[in-house]
Structure 1
Amino acid sequence: MTTDVEKTGITVKKTPKQKFWSVLKTTLLYGLVFIVIYTAINWWRQPVMPANPQLQLTDYQGQALDLAAMSTDTPTLVYFWGTWCPICTYTSPTIDKLAAAGNYPVVTVAIKSGSDQELQNYMQQNNFDFTTVNDEDGAIFADWQGQVTPSYVVLKEGEMTQGLTGIQPLWSLKLRLWLSSIF
């Protein structure tokens, strides 16, 4: 079936204003679809808090950590990563900046990243100063049903308020921690 425009051979040109609105609508539509898909995938892959989580941990330097106590007054970020993870080479410097700022406690869990000495060497080579628990066999990450690295958990009063995965900019992590402190 042909339209009247096709039969007459007349083409209708859009004005610059019409083109702008058309491009804007298309961009917003694709953006919305991306956000919905990204949120669904992130929700599906996020860590899940165990029924009886191990919140008393020891970092690779032998210091005791109590995540429940740390998250009592201020939300705490738990960052699951690995020295072998290519994406983590981009996200770990952001975590180091967040930890250095000191506004929120940050505890990282290095999954299957070697011995304490190997982990210490890696941390020194990359000038990372964040608190790190060595999850040599991946048991901690498995307990949280972690699927991908990097993964993040925000704890408030010992309970998980948010879980997320993938590359997260500093502003996004700060926003999530701030929101967890309010709600």
Structure 2
Amino acid sequence: MTQAKPAHKVLSLLKNLLLYALMFLAIYTAVNFWRAPAAPAAPAFAITNADGQRTDLLAKSHDEAMLVYFWGTWCGVCRLTSPNVQALHADGQPVITVAVASGDDAELGAYLNAHGYTFATLNDDSGEMFRTWQGQVTPSFAIIKDGKAVQTFTGIAPLWSLRLRLWWANLA
């Protein structure tokens, strides 16, 4: 009879843990949905080189899904996530990053060099592009496929999660 009590306690503990995990997942999903950026109808990520030629960075999204990463040099969570974005870029995944309110081009360039980041970065020093996307927090992400946002999310993003999301977007 004494063995039934420990088994009952373990079962009760497991049920409570499952209930708390489900509650956490529901709250996390709701908050993430509320905070996620909202892509404009026609997102634009174009750069003009020194010769005045304009390049649409989203053109690659017609070949495969592309990650857009909004971050800041001042953002503590971004310090955890940026190396994952760099790893995606190093593996040949299309990545565009937008540095939000991170200083002038020289300051941003120094930060990128100091951390070994080679991903394409647009300097949104005024935060205007981030506001266009209705961004609320950094880091924020969008996955673009065929020129349209198919996923948006925020927060810490492990490398496996980013890879999974890109893979999923490429299936569609």
TM-score for the superposition, normalised by structure 2:
0.91
**Structure 1 runs not aligned, ≥5 long:** 1-11
**Structure 2 Cα separation of the partners of residues 164 and 57 of structure 1:** 24
Instruction: Rate the CA distance shift 1:64–1:38 in 2: closer, same or farther, 3 A.
Output: farther
The range that moved more, 67-76 or 41-50, is 67-76
Q: 1:58 to 1:17 in 2, by over 3 A?
A: farther
- Paired with 2:43 and 2:112, the residues of 1 have a C-alpha distance of 26
Once the two structures are aligned, what percentage of the paired residues are identical? 50
CA RMSD between the two structures? 2.0
Q: How many equivalent pairs are there?
A: 169
Change (3 A) 1:130 1:144: same
Measure, in 2, the Cα distance between the counterparts of 1:169 and 1:63.
36
Matched, 1:88 2:88: no
Greater shift in the superposed pair: 74-83 or 15-24: 15-24
SS in 2 for 1:154: strand
Displacement, 1:120? 0.7
Q: How far off is 1:17 after superposition?
A: 2.1
| Secondary structure, counterpart of 2:76 in structure 1 | coil
Change (3 A) 1:81 1:33: same
Given residue 139 of structure 1, which amino acid in structure 2 is its aligned partner? E
- Once the two structures are TM-superposed, the CA of residue 78 in structure 1 deviates from its matched residue by 0.3
- From 3, 10, 32, the counterpart of 1:20: 10
Could you tell me how far apart the structure 2 residues matched to 1:106 and 1:65 are? 15
Pairs within 5 Å for 1:12-161: 15-57=5-47, 65-102=55-92, 104-161=93-150
Indicate if the aligned counterparts of 2:42 and 2:148 stay in contact, CA closer than 8 A.
no
> Helix, strand or coil: the match of 1:15?
helix
1:110-139, Cα deviation, whole Å (9 max, x unpaired) = 011111111110011111111111111111
In structure 2, how many angstroms separate the alpha carbons of the residues matched to 1:93 and 1:134?
A: 18
**1:122-161 superposed Cα distances (whole Å, 9 cap, x missing partner):** 0111111111111111111111000000000000000000
Which has the greater radius of gyration? 1
Distance in 2 between residues matched to 1:63 and 1:15, nearest whole Å: 75
TM-score, structure 1 as length reference: 0.86
